[in-house]
Amino acid sequence: MKKLLFAIVLLSFSVLTMAQSISLGTDNEYCPNTEYEFTVNLPGSYSSISATQFLITQQPYAFNQSQTSFKFKGKFNDVNIKQIITVRYNNSNNTYPFEYKRVKSLFYSNDYSCGQIQPKFTSNNAPATSFTAPLCQVSNFNITFNKIKWHTAFENPVYCFGSISDYEYLLPVNWKLGNNTSNGSTWLQGTNTATITSDLSTGNGSTILIRPKNTCTTPSANTQPQVPIFINRPPSFAVSPATAAIMCGSTTPITFTINNVSGATGITNHTWNLGTTPNGWLLSNGSPAPSIYSTGTANTLVLTPACGASPGNVGASVTANGINCIAASSNVSVTQPTLSISGNSNFCANATYFINNLPCNTSNVIWEIMPSTAATLNVSNNQVTISPAGNYGTVMLKAKINSPCFNGVVQVQKQNISISQLPNDIYTLRIFDGAMWHSNKIIIKH
C-alpha cells in the first residue's frame, strides 16, 4: 500500500513538472540589457515570481481565467553566470526555477576550454605574435583566428555555448583595420579575419590588442584577456660600415654609405648627423665637417679622421615620402695602433725601414741599432736607412715613438736582421795575341 501511494505521488509530481513551460525557452541565446516578453504555463494557479541576476521589468499580466498562464517582461543582466526566474504556484506550495545559462556576456573571463584568440598569418598559417613593419614604409598584415565560444562562469563541468563572431582591435594611431583609421585610443570593430595596415612612422615597441566584442548591448561589460601582437619597426635604412674601428692617429679616409635595406621608395634627400663640432671629421675637401651635412640624392659620404681627434658615430636620416626616416648609425671607435717595423730581414748594401701604422701626431721617432758598430743610420721623415759599417752579422733595429696615442713613449723593434758581405765580383778577361785567345779571371773583393 505504501509503495502504491509513493508511486502515485511520484507520478503526480512528474506530471506537474512536465506541464510547466516558459517561452522564451532556456535553450535559446539571449542578449543582456534587452527587454524580452515571456509566457509561462503552469499546472496550478500562479502565486508569485522572483529572479536571481535577472531583472523583472513588468510584473505578470495577461493571466488566463485559471491563473495558470500569464506573461511578464524582463532583462538579463550583463553578466555571464546562470540567471534564474523562479515561479511559485498552488499557494506557493510548488516552486519551479527556470535556469538560463546562455546569456551572451563577457563580464567574466572565458575558460581556456571555450577557446582562445590565437592569431595566425593567413599566408602561411604561422603564429602572428609580432609584426615587423619597417619604418617609412606601409606594411599590410592579414591575420585570422578561430572564433571562441561564449562562456557561463562557475559551472561544473565548464559550460560553453555558441560562438563569438565580433572582435575589436586597438591599434597605434594612424594604423588601419581594413579601411578604418585608428586614433590610437578607440577600439575598432572587426571579425576573426582582419587586414591591418601600418602607417609610415608610428607604433614601434607598442602592441596591437585583440579581444572579443559583445554587439548585443552597448555599452557592454568586457573583462576578456586582451591578446597582444607586438610591433617592431626597424629602420628602413642603415649606415655602413655598421662599425668602424679607427686606429688612433690614422688619417685614412672612410667611405660611409646609407643603405636602403627594405627597398623604401620616394627618397628625396640624405642627411648626415656627424655630431657636435668639432666632431673630429674632415670632408673630402679638407674642411672640418659640420654637425649636419646633406648629400641630396647621393647616399655616400667620404670622411677623413682629423689628425689627433677621436671622431664620433656617424648617423643619418633619409627623407622618404615626406617623412624623416632615421637610419641605423655607424658606431665608430678609436683603438691604439699596432706598431711594427717594416723592411728587409737581410741585406748586403743599404736598406730602408719605416714604422707601420705610425700615428699622424707622432712628435718624434728615435732609432737605434744594436750592436751600434754594425751600421750607420740615416734618419729622414720617420724612416731610417741602414748602411753597413763593415761589421757583418745579425742586428736588431729599435724605434722609440712619442705620440699622444700612447701613455708615454713606446718602443718597437725588429730582430734578427742579417747584414751580409757583398759577394766578390768575378770577371773573365780574354786577350787575343794574334794567334789565339787567352782567358784570365779577375776577382774584385768588397
Contact 129, 230 (CB under 8 A): yes
pLDDT of residue 361: 87
- Distance between CA atoms of 210 and 7, rounded to whole angstroms? 57
Q: Which residues, including other chains, have CB under 8 Å from residue 204's CB and lie 6 or more apart?
A: 135, 231, 232, 233
Contact 32, 80 (CB under 8 A): no
Contact 411, 398 (CB under 8 A): yes
Stretch among 5-19, 30-44, 156-170 having the lowest mean pLDDT? 5-19
394-416 tens-digit pLDDT: 999 999 999 888 888 899 999 98
Instruction: Enumerate domains of the chain plus CATH numbers.
Output: 2-100 (2.60.40), 112-232 (2.60.40), 237-335 (2.60.40.10), 340-419 (2.60.40)
- What residue has cell string 677621436? 310
The string of DSSP codes covering 110-162 is PPGGG-----EETTT--B-SEEE--TTS--EEEEE-PPPPEEETT-SS-EEES
Q: What is the pTM of this model?
A: 0.72
75-118 tens-digit pLDDT: 999 999 999 999 999 999 999 999 999 999 999 999 999 999 99
17-46 tens-digit pLDDT: 457 999 999 999 999 999 999 999 999 999
